Structure 1
Amino acid sequence: MARKIGSRYTAHQLLGRGSAGSVWLGDGPEGPVAIKLLREDLAADQELVGRFVQERTALLGLEHPHIVTVRDLVVDGNDLALVMDAVRGTDLRTRLDSAHRLAPAAAAAIVADIADALAFAHKAGVVHRDVKPENILLDMSGTPGRAGEHPALLTDFGVAKLIDSPRSTPTGRSTKIIGTPDYCAPEIVEGLPPRAAVDIYALATVLYELLAGFTPFGGGHPGAILRRHVTETVVPLPGIPEELWQLLLQCLAKAPASRLRASELAERLREMAPLLDGLPALEVDEPQPEPAGEGEAAGEEPVTGAAPRGAVSLVPTAPGKDSGRDTHTSMRVPGVDELSGGAHGTARVPRAPGAPRPGSARAREAALRRRRLRTGVGAGVAVVILAVAGWLVAGGDDSDSGAEQTGTAAVTSG
């Protein structure tokens, strides 16, 4: 059933639903468009509508070959919508679900395209804040590149900021975390304002996922995922060239200043293309799933308002569907004690079934019990040794027994 969106657009076909609203294929004065219609409760939020209008100029100005262009922003009664170019293809999440892993050359080509898009946006002063496979589209109408991949386009610029603009404290620190847990940079988890480097961290996480089939810090309760971003190191990926691995490590650095800029990332990936040509997809063992309830045991609050996985595609060929993965989350910033509770070793190291993850609350409790047990056993052994020593001294020469016993008592009491 057709639906009018403002005075210029008509939505014809529902493509998908997500945490922000629904996406439709429609028509406008210039031809086919994709219309992201935000939820009605969001349209009733006057503060949100104000932010929506304020962001209009910045969003409409992002025209780049690797960015899905926003054509219009509609505010009309209960309708709040972004009107964008319709892309003929699929999203990267759907591609990854099908292929599971990509060959290094293909992964690098896709990420280089998105790095180009981010370089353009960052130069214009716009931070995406929610880079992930769901927001990367593959344009099947475009000419394939060197690795045989169709052009990759980045979409949903500004949506996270529009919907969930976090309040800041007097110190400038945000009181909420906005984004998708698997791709959140450490500085976001710590409540710092999002700068361009958060997009580099998220894009490097996407590259890691394309190569490995899983994200470096994902799995389990969202609060545990966020803590790993701050406290844990990246699981090595055997089988990729050292140059590519070092690039990944640099872009996943905990310190934002240590990461490459978007233009540098794109240039480096294209320079190493000859090195990656012909390499097969990696064969990597996936980490064990997080035991149920471990995040809650560590004192983390459950996520509120989390959306299921399922890309909200801007393309007519990708069906909208929901599944079980959190893709957009608004959480409080963890406290210092919670952040310091994580393991400082390698993230998600393989372990025996049922064994607690290093650094978790269960692991700390088990370690404390072992220390208490060792302390108790050690104290018992010491008492036995001293008692035996006292008996031997007491059985010695009578003339020295008083002095010897006094000395033994002094040692025992000390």
Structure 2
Amino acid sequence: MARNIGSRYTAHQILGRGSAGTVWLGEGPEGPVAVKLLREDLASDQELVGRFVQERTALLGLDHPHIVAVRDLVVDGNDLALVMDLVRGTDLRTRLDRERRLAPEAAAAIVADVADGLAAAHRAGVVHRDVKPENILLDMEAPPGPGGAHPALLTDFGVAKLIDTPRRAKATRIIGTPDYLAPEIVEGLPPRAAVDIYALATVFYELLAGFTPFGGGHPGAVLRRHVTETVVPLPGIPEELWQLLVQCLAKAPASRLRASELATRLRELIPLLAGIPPLDVDEPDSGTESPAYDEQGYAPVPEEPRRRGAVPLVPGSSPDSNRDTHTSMRVPAPDELAGGPLGTARAPRAPGRPRPGSARNRSGTVRKRRITLGVAALALCAALGVGGWFAFGGDDPAPTPEDTRNSAPAAP
């Protein structure tokens, strides 16, 4: 059913739903448009609307081939809407759900396009703050580029800032999508351009591997892993590409490349990636994870199986391209983030080989240790002349949180 958006636009049909609102196919004075109608609770917050209107000039000034342009901002009664260019295609999440992972050449071409768009935004003083596959659109009407990848455009500029709380002397909340949040955001620092680079590098990793480097399980555990864990090389990835990815996933913001540098480096590497098939990488093992924390107090909560990729945070939401992945959580205290020595994230592996620290590898180590202790006990009893029955074996002890967090095998 059609509805009017202000006095100039008409929304005809819903294209999708996201964490901040609903996207409609609309019509305006200059032809078809996409209209993002923001949630009523956002539109009714006058302070929030005022802050967003202040950003109008910056948003309307973002003009780049790899940015979905904002044409207008409509504030009309209970309606708060962004009117944007209509992109005929799909989002990157939909393609990932269909193909699971992309060939390195296509993945690099998509990420280079997005990096070009981010470079233009950063020059204008605008930080996106929510780079993820759901916010990357593929223009299917444009000719495909390297690896058959269609041009990529970044959308939803300003939306993360819109739903954020007013700036305070010290940040106390985290707004964003857990899988793609930079460590400095988790630690409560203000978002700078480097947070977009970290998020885009996380997307790049996901395009290659089929899962994010620190995702899965409870959002609190995901946030903690961004700060305390490091990634390990993906099997079969070219070394130059891996080093570039590692640099952009650096914990220190100053160590990451700028968006323009990332785009340039990727375009230099694309010819070397031609013909390389998608990486053959097993998904991370299911199982329990390091201690998770609840949204409010970060007290331990029951552990749950780790799931691949970003997870829906709204009960009943379906895991599709429009799933709601935003969350708002308390910034954890330093002692809550401290996890001892820097650990290693879920280690990807080649198919058919146990991953270090996996249940299969760890069970063998525990069994060997049990046998060794049993033999030693028998030898000691024999030496002391003590007879009797000794029972060894039984069920393995349940792994502690420390066991499940670290990827290194248990010491003998």
Name the TM tier (shorter chain). 0.7 to 0.9
Counterpart position of 2:334: 336
Give 1:352 shift.
1.3
> Is the contact between residue 342 and residue 359 of structure 1 (CA under 8 Å) also seen in structure 2?
no
Deviations along 1:20-56, whole A, 9 cap, x unmatched? 1111101000100111101111111011110121011
Counterpart position of 2:115: 115
Q: 1:103-182 counterparts in 2 under 5 A? A: 103-169=103-169, 173-182=170-179
Q: 1:162-311 counterparts in 2 under 5 A? A: 162-169=162-169, 173-291=170-288, 294-296=291-293, 299=299, 306-307=313-314, 308=317, 309-311=319-321
SS at match of 2:292: helix
TM-score w.r.t. structure 1 length?
0.79
Letter in 2 for 1:249: V
Letter in 2 for 1:152: A
Query: d(CA) in 1 for partners of 2:301 and 2:191?
Result: 23
Q: 1:30-69 counterparts in 2 under 5 A? A: 30-69=30-69
Give 1:306 shift.
3.7
Deviations along 1:264-310, whole A, 9 cap, x unmatched? 000000101121000010011111235389414872689xx944453
Query: d(CA) in 2 for partners of 1:15 and 1:167?
Result: 32
**Identity of aligned pairs, percent?**
76
Give 1:337 shift.
1.3
Report the aligned-residue RMSD.
2.3
Give 1:348 shift.
2.4
1:27 aligns with 2:27: yes
> Is the contact between residue 103 and residue 147 of structure 2 (CA under 8 Å) also seen in structure 1?
no
Give 1:311 shift.
3.0
Counterpart position of 2:350: none
Letter in 1 for 2:104: P
> Is the contact between residue 74 and residue 83 of structure 1 (CA under 8 Å) also seen in structure 2?
yes
Letter in 2 for 1:176: R
* Gap runs ≥5 in structure 2: 303-311, 348-354, 361-397
Letter in 2 for 1:179: G
SS at match of 2:359: coil
> Is the contact between residue 166 and residue 175 of structure 1 (CA under 8 Å) also seen in structure 2?
no
Instruction: Name the larger-Rg structure.
Output: 1
Higher normalized contact order (CA 8 Å, seq sep 6+, divided by chain length): 1
Letter in 1 for 2:7: S
SS at match of 2:130: coil
SS at match of 1:219: coil
Letter in 2 for 1:235: V
* Gap runs ≥5 in structure 1: 313-321, 371-414
Give 1:178 shift.
1.3
Counterpart position of 1:387: none
Letter in 2 for 1:69: A
Give 1:343 shift.
6.2
Letter in 2 for 1:107: A
Counterpart position of 2:371: none
Letter in 2 for 1:221: H
Give 1:149 shift.
1.0
TM-score w.r.t. structure 2 length?
0.80
Deviations along 1:352-376, whole A, 9 cap, x unmatched? 1874554779x9xxx9xx9xxxxxx
Counterpart position of 1:352: 359
Q: 1:388-403 counterparts in 2 under 5 A? A: none
